[in-house]
Structure 1
Amino acid sequence: MRRGPLREGTFRSRLHEPRTAVVLGRWLGAAVLLCFLTGLLSHVLQQPPGWVAGLLPSRPVNGYRVTQGLHVISGTAAIPLLGAKLWTVYPRLFEWPPARSVAHLLERLGIAVLVAAMLLELFTGLLNTVQWYPWPFPFRQTHFWLGWLATGGLLVHVGAKAPLIAAHWRRVRPELAGRRAFLGVVAASVAAVTVTTAGQTVPWLRALDLFAPRRPDIGPQGLPVNRTAAQAGTTTVPADWRLQVDGPHPYSLSLHELAELPQYEHDLPISCVEGWSASARWSGVRLRDLLDRAGAPADATVRVTSLEADGPYRVMDMPAGYARDPLTLLALRVNGEVLAADHGFPARIVAPNRPGVLQTKWVQRMEVL
């Protein structure tokens, strides 16, 4: 029944062998585990469970920039590694007969689930970096659960293959002809996709940022944006706009009144889930000063509502650890200029160590919970 390209003897390369697979598996496993752990952290920061929300730290300032940058970098690096790994082992995918026993059938089904989950996880993650979603299911929830499925499947697979892995873990002499060259090509491919995309978050690689979907220095006022004012329906701000602050002592302020309050300047990054980040000089009013004026308790969570009519992050809750940080601003200016509409005019939130989707733009109301 095996005919054409699947017939016996088709796969002639000597590199379809366990030692090559084990070496590639080590590299791929490291990339997947790093990608999984940093992705899990990103998920918690974006949508923290209630018992975690008050424990999330606002420092280090560049924490999310580093972890989410590593998430996208390791996920991108895993793509050529997975391709090389599958090339090394794919003759085993066409073993005949397909199942020699119930245990063998379960092992092959597990491998099928693992491969499918890995391919779909990396494919959806790659398209998310360019904000293209050609599927009917929600990306974030699907990507989260696929991450668990792929990582769990990988750990089960390693456990099932532990004896084989142990037998081929160490280098053997003499070296198989062509193995070192093949692994060198794979390593060079990983290095190439890394250095030509990581510049969207790693400043000293910016000159090599050839294929990343973002340049951190291109956009309105020298900063990129994901959601524009036109997309959010906030290109025109009401002439009578006032910031409403609700708490024990509610009040409201016009833009002119906000500008007359003590102003602070801080260098803070905008770090987005798609993997890009950019630092800027933000200036505005400290959030803690606005909360103190409203009589907010020191441990109060703050709910921030945007002018935009809809959107998954139109309403954002900020735990006290962020709201009380002296670096957290209701920003009115960036790099010495009044905020452009795309950057959140008349006012936006900028806080340390937070995902960009939670740096609410076009702020209309703050409510002490």
Structure 2
Amino acid sequence: MSRRPRPTLPALRPPEFTGRLHDARTATAVGRLLGAAFAVCFLTGLVSHYLQHPPDWLADRLPTRPVWGYRLTQGLHVATGLAAIVLLLVKLWTVYPRLFTWPPVRSVRHALERLSVAVLVATAVFQVLTGLLNIVQWYPWPFSFVPVHFAVAWVVAGSILLHLAVKAPEIRAHWRRRSPGTLELPAEDVRDRRSLLLGVGAAVGVVTATTVGQSFTPLKSLDLLAPRHPDHGPQGLPVNRTAAAAGVSAGGLGEWRLDVLGPRAYSLTLDALGAMPRAFVTLPIACVEGWSVDADWAGVRVRDLVERAGGRPGRDAVRVTSLEVAGSYRVMEMGTEYVDDPLTLLALALNGRRLSLDHGFPARIIAPNRPGVLQTKWVHRLEVL
């Protein structure tokens, strides 16, 4: 009686890729655009972080001009971050076959190279993903977004520099349109690559055009994909944090008074505050999520309030406290540049009407070239430092 032969398992082999656009020239072309996007994100992210969390030596030297400076830098940060999502996906598509090369490690140098690529890919994906979720204000993670996003940004920057150093010869060989000594793709593949790059450009253009209107208001009519529209909200402005979310209610305001602490401390009722000389300014409010819009504000200059309390103009900083029950920005400090600026107001009115509760009634801070999270709402105390 003969025995049946045992079935044999097929030999394990690494996958083979025959796609014709997974080449170094295509990867370099996309990588140049992606690198530029990450560079803009990194530099504008530094601006945002140090405006929000300045070290002591910088706190009194933050510039208040141009008044639209933060609006520009943060708008660029979010716009290029969204564009980077498209570019990163295409870049990973062009190079992913190399992740399956065999053997996976050929030398110590090759192992270090692959490790650096793994760190770069992981941190880059982390940055664009968490940045996207921050724009829509969804935080499904247990850590604080701002310090982690800032720290990982440095890791991404270092990983990119290391990757450029390791891949410099290959990048140099494929940087220009035609490089001597390099193997060019067949004519039909060159056309495919051109079509791919045109498609990438179109995708980036569509994403930018349908989101940048939240900060570049001439394009606000195309603002279809951004989570905020610059004209939608109470008194014509968006609201990130409502009074209800902050634990502030009209009934809880009671006999509101503004306490100004300093060498000559004093308190003001809302009527007394409103009777002080009023200033009118047009300033943008710009938030870290990328939206911004100009508005007309009316109120009392902060430097007048500080000087009345015995503060020294141009020399004293101010600590501002909100009625907000809890939050990372319930207490905010302003350096002397902001305090002394004639455009920095304790605002009482917005676009010709008294502040709504969601916009900070009875009083809020508005200052030039300053992140929206530091334009403190529901102010009840100013303390001269």
TM-score (norm 1): 0.97
In 2, Cα distance between equivalents of 1:20 and 1:200: 33
SS in 2 for 1:178: helix
Which of 215, 225, 235 is 2:229 aligned to? 215
In 2, Cα distance between equivalents of 1:335 and 1:187: 39
Which of 247, 251, 276 is 1:261 aligned to? 276
**Number of matched residues?**
365
Contact 2:346/2:365 (8 A) holds in 1 = yes
In structure 1, runs of 5+ residues without a counterpart are none
Name the counterpart of 2:5. Answer: none
Which of 215, 219, 224 is 2:238 aligned to? 224
1:347 CA displacement: 0.3
Which has more radius of gyration?
A: 2
Q: How does 1:131-210 map to 2 (within 5 A)?
A: 131-172=137-178, 176-210=190-224
- Percent identity between matched residues is 61
Aligned CA RMSD, in angstroms, stands at 1.1
Q: Aligned letter for 1:293?
A: R
Which of 1, 6, 30 is 2:36 aligned to? 30
1:37 CA displacement: 0.4
Name the counterpart of 2:348. Answer: 332
In 2, Cα distance between equivalents of 1:187 and 1:238: 52
In 2, Cα distance between equivalents of 1:238 and 1:62: 33
Residue 248 (structure 1) aligned with residue 263 (structure 2): yes
1:310 CA displacement: 1.1
SS in 2 for 1:333: strand
1:13 CA displacement: 1.7
Q: Aligned letter for 1:286?
A: R
In 2, Cα distance between equivalents of 1:183 and 1:305: 51
Residue 357 (structure 1) aligned with residue 367 (structure 2): no
In 1, Cα distance between equivalents of 2:246 and 2:143: 22
In 1, Cα distance between equivalents of 2:102 and 2:33: 29
Which of 18, 21, 41 is 1:15 aligned to? 21
Contact 2:363/2:377 (8 A) holds in 1 = yes
SS in 2 for 1:66: helix
Q: Aligned letter for 1:239?
A: G
Residue 283 (structure 1) aligned with residue 290 (structure 2): no
SS in 1 for 2:191: coil
1:185 CA displacement: 0.3
In structure 2, runs of 5+ residues without a counterpart are 1-10, 179-183
Residue 309 (structure 1) aligned with residue 325 (structure 2): yes
Name the counterpart of 1:273. Answer: 288
In 2, Cα distance between equivalents of 1:139 and 1:308: 20
Name the counterpart of 2:119. Answer: 113
Question: Once the two structures are superposed, what CA deviation does each residue of 1:213-252 show, in whole Å capped at 9, x if it has no partner?
Answer: 0001001111111111001111124331110001111111
Question: Once the two structures are superposed, what CA deviation does each residue of 1:111-134 show, in whole Å capped at 9, x if it has no partner?
Answer: 001000000100000000000001
Contact 2:15/2:100 (8 A) holds in 1 = no
Q: Aligned letter for 1:207?
A: S
TM-score (norm 2): 0.93
1:2 CA displacement: 5.0
Question: Once the two structures are superposed, what CA deviation does each residue of 1:1-34 show, in whole Å capped at 9, x if it has no partner?
Answer: 655xx522xx212111111111111100000000
In 2, Cα distance between equivalents of 1:331 and 1:94: 60
1:189 CA displacement: 0.6
1:161 CA displacement: 0.5
Residue 91 (structure 1) aligned with residue 105 (structure 2): no
Question: Once the two structures are superposed, what CA deviation does each residue of 1:147-190 show, in whole Å capped at 9, x if it has no partner?
Answer: 11111101110111000011111112776231111100011111
Which of 124, 134, 138 is 1:128 aligned to? 134
Q: Aligned letter for 1:190?
A: V
Name the counterpart of 1:367. Answer: 383
In 1, Cα distance between equivalents of 2:52 and 2:324: 19
Q: Aligned letter for 2:337?
A: G
Residue 233 (structure 1) aligned with residue 247 (structure 2): yes
Question: Once the two structures are superposed, what CA deviation does each residue of 1:340-366 show, in whole Å capped at 9, x if it has no partner?
Answer: 100000000000000000000000100
Contact 2:27/2:91 (8 A) holds in 1 = yes
